[in-house]
Structure 1
Amino acid sequence: MSSRIFSAMALLLFLHAAEAQVAQVSEVQIGSDIPEDWQQTASDRDFVKREVMIPMRDGVKLHTVIVIPQGSAAAPMLLERTPYGASSFLSGNSTRLRDRLLPGDRIWADNGYILVAQDMRGKYGSEGAYVMTRPPIGPLNPTTTDDTTDAYDTIDWLVKNVPESNARVGMIGSSYDGWAVVMALLHPHPAMRVAAPESPMIDGWMGDDWFQYGAFRQKMFDYFAKQTSAKGEGESIPRKGRDDYQEMLDAGSAGAYAVAHGIDRLPWWQRLSTHPSYDALWQGQALDKIIAAHPSSVPTLWLQGLWDQEDIYGAVHCWEALKAKGMAASNHLAMGPWNHSQINGRADALGPLKWSGDTADYFRREVLLPFFDTYLRDRKPSHPTPHVIIYNPAEDQWERFTDWPGASPDQLTPMYLQPDRGLARSRPASGRDSYVSDPRKPVPFEPLPVRMGDHASWSTWLLQDQRFVSTRPDVLSYQTPILDAAVRIQGAPFADIFLSTTGSDTDVVVKIIDVYPSNDTDAPELSGYQLPISLAIFRGRYRRSFEHPTAIPSGAVQEYRFRLPTVNYTFVPGHRIMVQLQSSLFPLYDRNPQTYVPNIFFAKPGDYRPATVSIEHGMQGMSAVLLPIVPSSTAIHE
């Protein structure tokens, strides 16, 4: 038999075998193995999840996740609008809803709320263009939509398309999400019955996120990259080393750092960096002023952390602005012993401070949930929602107030800087203390090495023991004698500093500090601890006008008066009150070159020069901190 015939027979045998094998297969799949409408079977799941695209008035559709407890009927809805991914509020694959939620959301699931999360325009699953904290419709936003209209249209759709609901909606959210709540309040849908902005971004120039009194927060560079470089979550800025202090110092100005890492190509940075002063761009987005001009009647609970390292400005200023407009009855203020957004997690401690219980859990159960139930379910709470409720960290207790003082420096008690680094209520006769502020060696805001991406240190830097800088020659500390009686403060302190500089610009950093006894037997780890309870940085060029900066005349004494964050605190006997002064807080805030330049973002290396700063506490100016001291508390203790 020839080889050709043998090969032909072998081929026939192979084809017959292949046909027999195919015959044994019941069906051949020709299309895709990924079906279009498949859903996982989960008959024992205690919730239903729906993902929808809700149309806005201009046709743009926003990705929305709706989670409904199994068997719901006439249930209230809780809406959170976010730029951080609506799908992310559910994690894991448990069939039990509460197991898939963060601690702050579990109370809503436990009480039968329908949870709704929505991606903002242009982020994650939503259509449209993303604009950072998109301004309200008007001069800064010539379109027909903003986050006020988007919230309105979303709520309108929800009440018409979620049959398991009672057609009532509450809004909640922290930080950027809290900003979205406030935007919704500018023209609320009739079905929006209650709101809780938590640490909302209200005025990015005055004190929330981007700046504090004109000093730029370089920590936000990572946020700009992550938030605006991609529709989803972008990447943070890569580091060459493991110390942000040295890396940012080596880069030079904030503008030079932006160029080195490509941030200068992001439209948001381009807008921000060309508006270093409090001009129309920032004034047109100051929501405390806007909401006071357009107050709503929606009952609102404004939440703030006493040590919020990101947004310590917004909630209390909105509440004060609405109170001044006669809207106190429908607006409540709450401040807990929390860092940024800690209200949504566990809060039985903050840094070295330990509380007698989980303060956030208590607040959610005893205040927040009853407040929402009142307006979404007509359930009368066992105790009326307090007009003001603020934690007293020194006494480890919640305190309720029928009223709370505003910011009135003329009604405060001056604590004057004294010779020999003293601090007292008596006016000093004369005195001056000087130090050299050198931009080549700025004062760090936390111990080196600085890693601003380290959440543990970042979330507690406002409580950092200030002894790590107290011996630096460019940090001045003034303190009282050991207290023999309690000193209670309730409200917003002010700094009133008189100083001169040999430069033509400067920053002023003021800290109010509780100095623990050198041997604290109740808490040995706090022995000698210097605990900041209120601090701020102020850019000197804005001492006369936030909108129109001016150079500082060299050698001339100038007054720097500015508000510090609100406190409810008791300096107890055996402690001391301390005030610390310095000229930098780096690299959290950009360096002041101490030479006046039109835009500090783009200062040149030669602009950064040492300057001698002299603090006056005598005839040329009696420097002081103005404290809201009360003789006795009017609070109702929890």
Structure 2
Amino acid sequence: MTSFPVRLAPLIGAVALAGFAHAQTAPQYAELPSETPAEFRAPDAGFNYVKRTVMIPMRDGTKLNTIIIVPKGVQNAPILLTRTPYDASSLVNHADSADLETILTGYDNAADVIAGEGYIRVVQDVRGKYGSEGDYVMNRPLHGPLNPTPVDHSTDTYDTIEWLTKNVPETNGRVGIIGISYDGFLPLMALVNPHPALKVAVPMNPMVDGWKGDDWFHNGAFRQINMSYMLEQVVTRANTAKWPVTNYDDYDMYLRAGSAGALGRERGLEQSGFWNKVVAHPAYDAFWQQQAMDTILARQPVTVPTLLVHSYWDAEDIYGAVAVWKAIKPHDTENKVFLSLGPWSHGGAIGDGATLGALKFGSDTALYWRQQVLKPFLARYLKGDERVPAIPTVTAFETGTNKWRSLPAWPSGAVEPVALRLAANQKAQLGGAADAKGYDEYVSDPAKPVPFRQRPIPPYGYDEAKGQTWPRWLVDDQREASGRTDVATFVSDLLTAPVKISGEPVAHLVASTSGTDSDWVVKLIDVYPDQVGSQPALGGYQLMVAGDIFRGRYREGFDKPKALAPNKALAYRIELPTANHVFLPGHRIMVQVQSSWFPLYDRNPQTFVPNIFFAQPGDYRKATQRIYHSSYVELPLVKAAQ
């Protein structure tokens, strides 16, 4: 760098100051007016609805962005509310259209029912997201030990309904709340100290218990596939930060990273308060227990008519709806709690329900449900039209036979637990005596974990155009796993009569590991005949009817992680998701057992460490796994025809 002589510095400074003064007094450029209006008011001539956007104040002064859509000409109409962390404006702007049903087509909107029945549609951003003020907390807990503030989703819903009933002149003062997933968790929150004007709740595929069986863990195994969601949902108000895709195959990305904790650090997740809570609470401690909505709602009878909606092949929240049903139905003395179970993926009840992956159901099951269950339910309880007959207590689609069943309870019928034994020679045997000595054996290698679906595994997402088929992976053909040497497979003889199950299969596994920790995955599978004339692609198809994972360290208690005794046969009880299925004659029943489901769940190092998020490369070791023939899957067998 060239330096000026010292004697020239004052002169240079004076010149600079003179130039600055000249710049301040020189004429300015003429102003060029902006072509963007301060506020654009879209003409709505020819529209069949009127849209209003308001900021509704909560009791602490925080204002929540709320979009109100009123069908033109309606009077004394009920309100159907959805609260969401997923951008209220996007939920009601699915197309530039003058038609109400067209703009509502998409996530959380049963558009044909909402538009066709004249409901006032209201969608609101929860506090801290998108257009709403305030701070965002994932699944914000109720006021209490985990939330010292006076506000939560229960109070925010109450305050929102209070404002709507007083400030929407077209309403009859009756409000319902509906939503899917996180938006399905929010109707459950609304049932806690509900507003008197709340007349109906429809929680669809709701998040209920993030540790036991919904989004974050399943029986202690961490669902690391959701790490991208955790980052994108929490670290910015409008989800502007994106999870980088570094590999074509997600299997490679997660394996390269090592532990979930290492990947989290690599991606900056430690900046997220929620991620730090998850990492700090790998066991089912008070943090998770106090947020479990089934436990919360079981404390008092539900006073609002509630329709719980469950999907048999829900890749996100397969636990929640049925868990809430089991918790609150025994206290339902006025028959206000209803359950629907359908052959759908997550949120599939608002889409096309004729197919799911390779499966064809012979009719649009979702359309049937919307027209025959949701529509009359809303009309009776939200419109107050008692001329509409009450829906059955339980409406359950029966897979295998592809029939809808109207039932008085769930499970229903003469259900008898029958053991499907994991016997010698890789046989699955209905009934009979147990073999107390024999076992099948495989080696589980964390360096080569069992993929949860056929590779390459696309990134987590919902964009079919990008190959993101995540929502339907639970109906993938399981032959990819049954051919591996690190998966124990047991198959029944050819069925000569139908075998119907209704309820939750329970795996009673007796197993040992040469390590000091282990995961156990159990899958109940319907094996199709080698040839299916009506649909050749289903020849020999292995359809998972129910499956789940269990982290071995929690064998003695979900809140008490404990090392496993090496090479000792130990008993495990693993509850599988609800099924309503008929194994048809000519089919077989299969059970698969394995010790990884990757990268859906993080790898168990198979060496006990205090916190698997912080497992080191040297902790991951091969283990010899034995599945003893005293193991069985308890099938909820229906003996009498319904």
TM-score by length of 2: 0.91
Match of 2:631 in 1: 623
**Which residue among 502, 519, 534 is the counterpart of 2:514?**
502
Task: Tell me, yes or no, if structure 1 residue 414 matches structure 2 residue 419.
Answer: yes
> 2: CA distance between counterparts of 1:130 and 1:282?
18
**Which residue among 287, 291, 300 is the counterpart of 2:306?**
300
Taking a change above 3 Å as real, the CA distance of residues 45 and 497 of structure 1, as seen in their structure-2 partners, is: same
- After superposition, residues 369-388 of structure 1 pair within 5 angstroms as 369-380=375-386, 382-388=388-394
Match of 2:456 in 1: 449
Cα deviation per residue 1:242-282 (whole Å; 9 max; x = unaligned)? 01101110110000011111112211100111100000000
Say which SS state the counterpart of residue 459 (structure 1) adopts. Answer: helix
Deviation at 1:325, TM superposition (A): 2.6
- For residue 59 of structure 2, what is the amino acid of its counterpart? R
Task: Tell me, yes or no, if structure 1 residue 352 matches structure 2 residue 377.
Answer: no
Match of 1:6 in 2: none
> 2: CA distance between counterparts of 1:575 and 1:31?
74
- For residue 559 of structure 1, what is the amino acid of its counterpart? A
**Which residue among 269, 273, 283 is the counterpart of 2:289?**
283
Q: Is the 8 A contact 1:188 1:296 kept in 2?
A: no
Taking a change above 3 Å as real, the CA distance of residues 157 and 578 of structure 1, as seen in their structure-2 partners, is: same
- For residue 470 of structure 1, what is the amino acid of its counterpart? S
> 2: CA distance between counterparts of 1:328 and 1:441?
53
- For residue 95 of structure 2, what is the amino acid of its counterpart? G
Deviation at 1:454, TM superposition (A): 4.9
Say which SS state the counterpart of residue 469 (structure 2) adopts. Answer: helix
Deviation at 1:384, TM superposition (A): 2.5
- For residue 125 of structure 1, what is the amino acid of its counterpart? G
**Which residue among 628, 635, 640 is the counterpart of 1:632?**
640
Match of 1:595 in 2: 607
Say which SS state the counterpart of residue 140 (structure 1) adopts. Answer: coil
> 1: CA distance between counterparts of 2:611 and 2:228?
22
- For residue 637 of structure 2, what is the amino acid of its counterpart? I
- CA-based RMSD of the aligned residues comes to 1.7
Cα deviation per residue 1:106-151 (whole Å; 9 max; x = unaligned)? 3211111000000000000000000000011101101100000000
Worse overlay, 370-379 or 300-309: 370-379
Deviation at 1:75, TM superposition (A): 0.5
Deviation at 1:444, TM superposition (A): 0.2
Q: Is the 8 A contact 1:102 1:345 kept in 2?
A: no
Match of 1:95 in 2: 98
Q: Is the 8 A contact 2:232 2:239 kept in 1?
A: yes
Match of 1:481 in 2: 493
Deviation at 1:31, TM superposition (A): 6.6
**Which residue among 51, 72, 75 is the counterpart of 1:73?**
75
Match of 1:21 in 2: none
Task: Tell me, yes or no, if structure 1 residue 438 matches structure 2 residue 445.
Answer: yes
> 2: CA distance between counterparts of 1:630 and 1:331?
24
> 1: CA distance between counterparts of 2:258 and 2:36?
53
Match of 2:25 in 1: none
> 1: CA distance between counterparts of 2:62 and 2:42?
29
- For residue 445 of structure 1, what is the amino acid of its counterpart? F
Cα deviation per residue 1:224-256 (whole Å; 9 max; x = unaligned)? 111012101234321222011011101100000
Match of 2:209 in 1: 203
Deviation at 1:283, TM superposition (A): 0.2
Say which SS state the counterpart of residue 436 (structure 1) adopts. Answer: strand
Match of 1:20 in 2: none
Structure 2 alignment gaps of length 5 or more: 1-29, 463-467
TM-score by length of 1: 0.92
> 2: CA distance between counterparts of 1:493 and 1:295?
28
Match of 2:18 in 1: none
Q: Is the 8 A contact 1:225 1:234 kept in 2?
A: no
Q: Is the 8 A contact 1:419 1:428 kept in 2?
A: no
Structure 1 runs of 4+ aligned residues shifted over 6 Å read 28-31
Worse overlay, 45-54 or 231-240: 231-240
Match of 1:22 in 2: none
Deviation at 1:34, TM superposition (A): 4.2
- For residue 276 of structure 1, what is the amino acid of its counterpart? P
Match of 2:16 in 1: none
Match of 1:4 in 2: none
- For residue 152 of structure 2, what is the amino acid of its counterpart? D
Q: Is the 8 A contact 1:510 1:580 kept in 2?
A: yes
**Which residue among 51, 54, 57 is the counterpart of 2:56?**
54
Q: Is the 8 A contact 2:70 2:121 kept in 1?
A: yes
Match of 1:23 in 2: none
Taking a change above 3 Å as real, the CA distance of residues 415 and 30 of structure 1, as seen in their structure-2 partners, is: closer
Cα deviation per residue 1:404-437 (whole Å; 9 max; x = unaligned)? 239x99x521111111011111123341111100
Taking a change above 3 Å as real, the CA distance of residues 138 and 631 of structure 1, as seen in their structure-2 partners, is: same
Q: Is the 8 A contact 1:212 1:537 kept in 2?
A: yes
- For residue 588 of structure 1, what is the amino acid of its counterpart? L
Worse overlay, 425-434 or 441-450: 425-434
- For residue 456 of structure 2, what is the amino acid of its counterpart? P
Identity of aligned residues (%): 48
> 1: CA distance between counterparts of 2:94 and 2:599?
34
- For residue 227 of structure 2, what is the amino acid of its counterpart? F
> 1: CA distance between counterparts of 2:246 and 2:214?
29
Worse overlay, 595-604 or 517-526: 517-526
Match of 1:389 in 2: 395
> 1: CA distance between counterparts of 2:94 and 2:592?
44
Q: Is the 8 A contact 1:228 1:234 kept in 2?
A: no
- After superposition, residues 160-559 of structure 1 pair within 5 angstroms as 160-327=166-333, 329-380=335-386, 382-405=388-411, 412-424=417-429, 425-429=431-435, 430-455=437-462, 456-559=468-571
> 2: CA distance between counterparts of 1:209 and 1:313?
9
Deviation at 1:562, TM superposition (A): 1.7
> 2: CA distance between counterparts of 1:472 and 1:33?
64
Deviation at 1:328, TM superposition (A): 6.9
> 1: CA distance between counterparts of 2:143 and 2:186?
14
> 2: CA distance between counterparts of 1:184 and 1:379?
23
Deviation at 1:452, TM superposition (A): 2.9
Say which SS state the counterpart of residue 59 (structure 2) adopts. Answer: coil
Structure 1 alignment gaps of length 5 or more: 1-27
> 2: CA distance between counterparts of 1:206 and 1:132?
17
Q: Is the 8 A contact 1:223 1:236 kept in 2?
A: no
**Which residue among 66, 70, 85 is the counterpart of 1:83?**
85
Say which SS state the counterpart of residue 293 (structure 1) adopts. Answer: coil
> 2: CA distance between counterparts of 1:113 and 1:454?
31
**Which residue among 140, 144, 148 is the counterpart of 1:142?**
148
Cα deviation per residue 1:278-300 (whole Å; 9 max; x = unaligned)? 00000010000000113321000
